[in-house]
Amino acid sequence: MDPMNKVALTLEYHGCRLAYTVTGSGTPVLFIQGTGVHGNGWMPQVEALAAQYNCISFDNRGMGGSQPIGCSITVEQMADDVIALMDAQGWDSAHIVGHSLGGLIALQLAIANRARVRSLSLLCTFAKGSLVTQFSWPMFWRGLRTYIGTRRMRRRAFLEMVMPHEMLASTDSEKLAASLAPLFGHDLADHPPVVMKQLAALRRYDATSKLSTLAGLPTLVVSATQDCVAKREFGQAIAAGIPGSRYVEIPKAAHGVTIQCADRINSLLRDHFSSVESKRSVRETSNCPSSH
């Protein structure tokens, strides 16, 4: 018997068989992954939190086991996919955690279905996708190198996109790439076919003008100081746009912070969820009618 009570499931929704995993028991938490990464990318978080929380991780539409794409890839559609997964589990609400593109999906979910969101955790993300996809020579060169050259060179280039230089300088990059492949769901030298569609969806989405509507929703925003993809000023802008949100920067970390600094991320998430649940418990107790 699986000690973490882990179950792999599928759900037919809008032309796609969404592949997802439910792990653990307790308060619902749903993890939304970013561009080109399978749901297994959340394994460092799920394995640490499953003893206290009932966790869903899943492959976004068109990724991994979630096939076929079925319809147009948009942030709005992917947020609807999340609601469908919650409905399938009978969850009225959940703590929502998103990384990178997953953060945009989490924002859309909260904007459109606030009552379904107990809290938001937005990790290495942004409110306006075009900020990430706008042209710059450094980012163009970084991205190009993940497509050209030998497989070893492409793996190294990808690692430079998601890990800090100091870490790579003292690490065997081939061993690191091999260890990360099961989390990303593919060899780091390869790009899943749906990635360009995901990037197009990301580029079209902008939640900036709607951030203020999330005032009062418990929100944790985390940036990594060496993230060359979701720069820390993007996270700072989200935190400034959502009144009452908490902003945290993790030093010497890059875009892959959920893997690189898993213990720190897990601690932040535990504290965030626990604080929200404690306040919910107090409100529910105070709203109970007196027995006298």
Q: What is the pLDDT of residues 229-275, one digit of tens each?
A: 999 999 999 999 999 999 999 999 999 999 999 999 999 999 999 99
Residue 78 has pLDDT above 70, yes or no: yes
C-alpha–C-alpha distance, residues 50 and 67, integer Å:
26
Please report the pLDDT score of residue 289 as a whole number. 63
User: How do beta strands 94-99 and 53-58 pair?
Assistant: unpaired
- 102-105 long-range Cβ contacts below 8 angstroms, 24+ apart: 102/31, 102/32, 102/33, 102/34, 102/60, 103/32, 103/34, 103/230, 104/75, 104/129, 104/202, 104/205, 104/207, 105/32, 105/60, 105/75, 105/78, 105/79
Please report the pLDDT score of residue 210 as a whole number. 98
For 128-146, the pLDDT digits (tens) are 999 998 877 788 888 889 9
Residue 169 has pLDDT above 50, yes or no: yes
Please report the pLDDT score of residue 1 as a whole number. 41
Supply 245's token pair: 């949100």
Please report the pLDDT score of residue 2 as a whole number. 60
Residue 286 has pLDDT above 90, yes or no: no
Average pLDDT over the chain, rounded to an integer = 94
Could you tell me which of 43, 1, 21 has the C-alpha nearest to residue 89? Answer: 21
Average confidence (pLDDT) over 195-216: 97
Please report the pLDDT score of residue 290 as a whole number. 54
Domains and CATH numbers, the chain: 7-132+193-287 (3.40.50.1820)
The pTM of this model reads 0.95
Please report the pLDDT score of residue 288 as a whole number. 62
Helices (H), 37-192: 43-49, 75-89, 101-112, 130-133, 137-145, 151-162, 165-169, 173-184
Residue 292 has pLDDT above 50, yes or no: no
